[in-house]
Amino acid sequence: MIYFDNAATSWPKPPGVAEAMTHFLNEVGANPGRAAHRRAVKSGHILYDAREAVCGLFHAPDPLRVVFGLNVTEALNLALRGLLRPGDHVVTSSMEHNSMMRPLRALERPPELCSGGVEVTVVGCSPQGVLDPADVEAAIRPDTKLVALNHASNVVGTLLPVAEVGAICRERNALLLVDAAQTGGAYPIDVQACRIDLLGFTGHKSMGGPMGTGGLIVGERVDETQLEPLMRGGTGSRSEYEVQPDFLPDMCESGTPNVVGLAGLQVGVRWVLERGVEAIRAHEVALTQALIGGLRSISGVTVYGTLDAELQTATVSFNVAGMAPSEVGLRLDDEYDIMCRVGLHCAPTAHKTIGTFPDGTVRFGLSAFNTLDEVEAALAAVERLAQEAR
């Protein structure tokens, strides 16, 4: 079996992830920060270790400014709905996932509706998914509060110039929110060097963790007193008050956290750090280069994106002439034991940008665990399907 659906969620997980989760369930199991007994203290340590691991991966200075949640979708909703007010302007790109685009479109509703009245400018990218920082700069206005971008497209893998945009945002006094769903653990990210003010991450892709883990890193330039939590409730802190604590991360982390998941995430992130993000990146670039080169040499196959492995993640979108993406995916699964994803990948605007809307593409999403042999086997399978369709 060849698993090429890592852009949706990674599999397998690094060694030790499942064991850490089982250990938590069997040997710890307590609610962190809710009691003073040994098990609760241990649970709190695991939670804090996970914050430190995330800071290590993204070079974030303060573990207490890591807000954990279910996934990056929740993190982006927190950043967008928590910071934007009627009259604010936001700049985003035409390569965004719906987890950025849908909350933004909801914020555009009339101001009398709950969290509406925000103006959104979508900056167009090239058909390869490339964003020109000068276009972002031209779109920024005096009332622009936020520039919100993904770090890499989940459709074609194209990397967006977040460091260049970060510098522009500082000059123009806007905040930069980055969706690192596709790059966290797969591409080096330094939130301080790139001047990223808010970084949303999801634990279940290249960070090696389980589903149900993710979060938002809230940078020092973000005034947390202006960040409206998505939910309020028990935090285990300031329990004498009926009002929500006003400090991070508690103000944005109501209810019992997913410590079993975070125990796994912590091990996944530490595995990434031990192996080295640069080494993982080099391995994935080599696989991506082979995959793009091989696909391009097959008659009847169209590959999308920059066609340069250095400019993208290990996510490659393509189509086979004369065959719907859904048929390609089904036959790769049924006849060749290859798991991939087909269709629009929750990013309709990105498909409009690259010219593949509404049918979408076949997407191979590779990870640190894939091999060149697997790439070659998949290329041979696509070659046979393309031959039949010719």
Ligand X SMILES: Cc1ncc(COP(=O)(O)O)c(C=O)c1O
Q: Where do contacts with ligand X occur on this chain (CB under 6 A)?
A: 8, 71-73, 97, 99, 150, 154, 179, 181-182, 202, 214
* Residue-by-residue DSSP string for 52-79: HHHHHHHT-S-GGGEEEESSHHHHHHHH
Cβ proximity of 66 and 60 under 8 Å: yes
- How many Å separate Cα 237 from the centre of its chain? 30
Strand-pair partners of 179: 150, 200
Nearer to ligand X, 43 or 213 (CB): 213
294: tokens are 């091989």
Among the listed residues 340, 364, 360, 336, the one whose alpha carbon sits nearest the alpha carbon of residue 348? 360
Per the CB < 8 A criterion, the answer to whether 99 and 246 are in contact is no
**C-beta of 218: minimal distance to ligand X in Å?**
18
> Which DSSP state fits 11?
S
Taking phi first (over 0 means left), then psi (-120 to 50 degrees means alpha), and beta for anything else, what does residue 16 get? left
Q: Which long-range contacts (CB under 8 A, 24 or more apart) does 270-277 make?
A: 270/53, 271/14, 271/15, 271/16, 271/17, 271/208, 272/14, 272/57, 272/185, 272/206, 272/207, 272/208, 272/368, 273/53, 273/56, 273/57, 275/368, 277/57, 277/185, 277/186, 277/187, 277/188
- Of 206 and 244, which has the nearer Cβ to ligand X? 206
| Residue position matching structure tokens 């996932």 | 97
- Which residue's CB is nearer to ligand X, number 187 or number 320? 187
Measured from the CB atom, the residue of 73 and 370 that comes closer to ligand X is 73
- What's the closest the beta carbon of residue 311 comes to ligand X, in angstroms? 16
Retrieve residue 146's tokens.
């936020």
